[in-house]
């Protein structure tokens, strides 16, 4: 297939440098699983890091061993908006994840048992610090671009703040500078759904030989609900019934109920997502607030950033609505940063950032062309001999 | 390289080098690109049209998608943060041009504005002789499908400036081909098709 990357084999970086987390806890060693696409050029100036969202992982493009496409395959690959003929693209599973990076399902070297709930809570900054280890390992002097949607966009912001000289372009998509009380409230309900499942066993469910599937499915149903828009659900399901008449029961009657249950069960059962990872990721989201240590002033927080920015929001996204992106744009403008902002018309709610959309793709392609122009310009003036 | 219209050339003549410029309704960013190349300005553009935004982005410009009618300029930019705020051929399409003028004067020290002159003799003649809303090269729309909802004449605009305490610093008129003539300079409201104004708040 012309636009396909084919089958991708993930790699694992075993980091032996201890990582001190924001919480004060120290991880003596950890693994990061990652995939790469395309080729790193001689100067290492064409590398892009993709940061994943809540339930994402390192498999962002191409096919995995089971021939499943990556979660953002529509946008990453040969001749796609993030063109792997031009860029070297990297995506890792976040620390605390459950898809290969060290997290609650990994063995705790101190006890020889699975970490479970004893895995320390990690923050966005911890993720960025661990991803920086990956950058060093791959001999990448700087990322020509960092790209992330939703929780991924928050990592991009954190990168731009914490490692300004390592980021040339920051693409912050469908994100927010911090969660609102409503966002945190949704996360709390999701966590309570998991923790009140009788199979949760205070987080030690792996040792108990079970999984809190019901709680996890409920959490995912709630999450999914916040990713969609009312219009999209209306046009997709309306009030359509599964049978042609009302049953006057609590069974699944409306198609939308059936859809949500399917999504929840798929996540908890087929995808086998770890409940402790879900708790941890939602907590990291809640804690994210880079302005907090700058008198709650986002402009001050972003003052150190030297990257050029593309900020994108989607009209029907009510989880991180366009005004949340305006806050980011405003803070960047306060610093006279180079910034482009696009507000994409879509009925798909928060999920729109993952879906095909002509305007979105146009913006992406236009901006990535600028990034490409910077690839040669941003090559480090080290002792490189140029051919020809 | 695209052809720079005489209208843009006139605007460029009114701009000092190494300044900060905001272009409202910047379209594909042609003017800003020209000003960056010739005047080394720091530039931001705002534009509602997604396709034009993409074109401006391809030129390497900082462009923020925005609906001028949402009056978000002051949300994004602090007072006096630009040397110039430019708006070409957009005043007549917004819901409240008077409020937009206030917004522009808040964030910019000087504003440069261009709009089609409804007092142009051809307009007057069409209305007088045919009793129909005029259609010209500058305003090639029917009355029902035109985006131009707040057309005005030079005299109308200057009356608004007077009422708002706005000082006209520079004024120029051109025709649809963006050329100027002696007649236009003598009788701008009758012979000018496109008005260019540079204005600022009257100093107290």
DSSP for B160-176 reads HHHHHTEEEEEEEEE-T
Residues A69-86 have pLDDT tens digits of: 999 999 999 999 999 999
- Map residue B191 onto helix, strand or coil: helix
Say if the Cβ atoms of B62 and A370 lie within 8 Å: no
What is the distance between the alpha carbons of residues B59 and B42, in angstroms, rounded to a whole number? 14
Task: Pick B64's closest partner by Cβ from A336, A341, A359.
Answer: A341
Q: Which helix (H) or strand (E) holds B12?
A: helix B6-13
Does B183 have pLDDT greater than 90? Answer: no
Residue A126 a catalytic site member: no
Say if the Cβ atoms of A370 and B57 lie within 8 Å: yes
> ipTM, 2 decimals?
0.90
- The half-sphere exposure of B34 on its side-chain side, counting CA atoms within 13 A, is 20
In 3D space, the residue among A92, A68, A128, A132 whose CA is nearest the CA of residue A270 turns out to be A68
Q: What pLDDT was estimated at residue B59?
A: 95
Neighbours of A313 (CB within 10 A): 29
In 3D space, the residue among B48, B73, B45 whose CA is nearest the CA of residue B60 turns out to be B45
Banded model confidence at residue B3, pLDDT cuts 50, 70, 90: low
Low-confidence ranges of chain A (pLDDT < 50): 381-388
What is the distance between the alpha carbons of residues B116 and B98, in angstroms, rounded to a whole number? 16
Residue A150 a catalytic site member: yes
User: What end-to-end distance do the CA atoms of chain A give, in Å?
Assistant: 34
Q: How much is the average pLDDT of B37-45?
A: 97
pTM, whole model, 2 decimals?
A: 0.94
Chain A interface disruption, residue of B65, B78, B82, B107, most A CBs within 10 A: B65
DSSP letters spanning B58-112: HTT--EEE--GGG--HHHHS-TT-EEEEEEES-GGGSS-HHHHHHHHHHHEEEEE
Smallest Cα distance from B62 to chain A, Å: 5
Banded model confidence at residue B194, pLDDT cuts 50, 70, 90: confident
Q: What pLDDT was estimated at residue A382?
A: 44
Q: What pLDDT was estimated at residue A388?
A: 34
- B22: which strand partners? B44, B85
Chain A interface disruption, residue of B53, B61, B72, most A CBs within 10 A: B53
Say if the Cβ atoms of A333 and B60 lie within 8 Å: no
Neighbours of A261 (CB within 10 A): 14
Instruction: Name the least confident of A251-260, A377-386, B133-142, B159-168.
Output: A377-386
In 3D space, the residue among A371, A319, A317 whose CA is nearest the CA of residue A340 turns out to be A371
How deeply is A384 buried, as exposed, middle or buried, from its count of CB atoms within 10 A (0-12, 13-18, 19+)?
Answer: exposed
Interface membership of B65 toward A (CB under 8 Å): yes
In 3D space, the residue among A235, A220, A227 whose CA is nearest the CA of residue A317 turns out to be A227
In 3D space, the residue among A376, A379, A352 whose CA is nearest the CA of residue A364 turns out to be A352
Does B42 have pLDDT greater than 80? Answer: yes
In 3D space, the residue among A46, A135, A136, A42 whose CA is nearest the CA of residue A84 turns out to be A46
Q: What pLDDT was estimated at residue B143?
A: 87
What is the distance between the alpha carbons of residues B171 and B196, in angstroms, rounded to a whole number? 6
What is the C-alpha radius of gyration for chain B, rounded to an integer number of angstroms?
Answer: 17
Banded model confidence at residue B140, pLDDT cuts 50, 70, 90: confident
Banded model confidence at residue B132, pLDDT cuts 50, 70, 90: confident
Say if the Cβ atoms of B62 and A330 lie within 8 Å: no
Residues B81-108 have pLDDT tens digits of: 999 999 998 898 899 999 999 999 999 9
Interface membership of A298 toward B (CB under 8 Å): no
Smallest Cα distance from B86 to chain A, Å: 18
Cα separation values, B41 from A20, B9, B37, Å: 45, 15, 8
Q: Using CA of residue A38, residue A40, residue A45, residue A48, what is the dihedral sign?
A: positive
Cβ–Cβ < 8 Å for A284, A123 = yes
B chain contacts of residue A363, beta-carbon cutoff 8 Å: 50, 53-54, 57
Interface membership of B62 toward A (CB under 8 Å): yes
């Amino acid at each position: 297939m012309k636009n396909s990357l084919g089958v991708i084999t993930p790699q694992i970086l075993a980091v032996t440098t201890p990582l001190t987390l924001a919480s004060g806890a120290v991880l003596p060693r950890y693994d990061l699983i990652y995939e790469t696409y395309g080729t790193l050029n001689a100067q290492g100036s064409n590398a892009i890091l993709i940061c994943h969202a809540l339930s994402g992982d390192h498999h962002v493009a191409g096919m995995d061993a089971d021939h499943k496409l990556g979660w953002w395959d529509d946008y990453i690959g040969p001749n796609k908006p993030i063109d792997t003929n031009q860029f070297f693209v990297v995506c890792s599973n976040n620390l605390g994840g459950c898809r290969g990076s060290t997290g609650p399902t990994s063995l705790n070297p101190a006890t020889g048992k699975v970490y479970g709930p004893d895995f320390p809570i990690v923050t966005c900054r911890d993720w960025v610090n661990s991803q920086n280890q990956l950058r060093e390992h791959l001999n990448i002097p700087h990322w020509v671009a960092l790209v992330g949607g939703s929780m991924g966009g928050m990592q991009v912001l954190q990168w731009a703040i914490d490692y300004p000289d390592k980021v040339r372009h920051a693409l912050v998509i469908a994100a927010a500078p911090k969660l609102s009380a409503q966002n945190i409230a949704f996360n709390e309900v999701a966590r309570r759904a998991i923790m009140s499942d009788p199979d949760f066993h205070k987080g030690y469910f792996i040792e108990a030989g079970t999984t809190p599937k019901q709680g996890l499915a409920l959490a995912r149903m709630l999450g999914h609900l916040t990713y969609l828009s009312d219009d999209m659900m209306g046009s997709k399901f309306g009030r359509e019934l599964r049978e042609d008449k009302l049953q006057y029961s609590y069974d699944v009657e409306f198609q939308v109920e059936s859809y949500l249950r399917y999504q929840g069960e798929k996540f908890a059962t087929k995808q086998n997502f770890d409940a402790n990872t879900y708790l941890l990721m939602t907590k990291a989201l809640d804690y994210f607030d880079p302005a907090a240590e700058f008198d709650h002033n986002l402009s001050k927080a972003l003052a150190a950033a030297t990257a050029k920015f593309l900020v994108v929001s989607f009209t029907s996204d009510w989880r991180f609505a366009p005004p949340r992106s305006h806050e980011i744009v405003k803070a960047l403008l306060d610093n006279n940063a180079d910034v482009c902002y696009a507000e994409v018309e879509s009925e798909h709610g928060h999920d729109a950032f993952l879906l095909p959309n002509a305007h979105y793709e146009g913006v992406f392609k236009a901006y990535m062309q600028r990034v490409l122009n910077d690839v040669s310009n941003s090559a480090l003036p080290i002792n490189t001999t140029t051919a020809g | 390289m695209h052809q720079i219209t005489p209208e843009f050339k006139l605007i460029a003549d009114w701009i000092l080098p190494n300044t900060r410029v905001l272009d409202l309704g910047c379209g594909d960013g042609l003017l800003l690109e020209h000003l960056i190349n010739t005047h080394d300005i720091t530039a931001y553009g705002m534009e509602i049209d997604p396709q034009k935004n993409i074109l401006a982005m391809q030129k390497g410009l900082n462009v923020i998608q925005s609906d001028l009618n949402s009056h978000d300029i002051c949300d994004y930019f602090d007072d006096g943060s630009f040397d110039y705020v430019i708006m070409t051929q957009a005043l007549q399409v917004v819901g409240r041009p008077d409020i937009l003028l206030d917004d522009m004067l808040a964030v910019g020290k000087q504003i440069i504005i261009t709009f089609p002159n409804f007092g142009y003799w051809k307009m007057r003649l069409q209305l007088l002789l045919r009793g129909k809303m005029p259609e010209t090269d500058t305003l090639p729309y029917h009355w029902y499908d035109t985006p131009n909802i707040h057309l005005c004449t030079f005299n109308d605009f200057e009356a608004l400036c007077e009422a708002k305490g706005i000082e006209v610093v520079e004024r120029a008129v051109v025709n649809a081909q963006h050329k100027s003539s002696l007649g236009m300079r003598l009788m701008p409201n009758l012979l000018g098709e496109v008005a260019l104004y540079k204005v600022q708040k009257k100093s107290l």
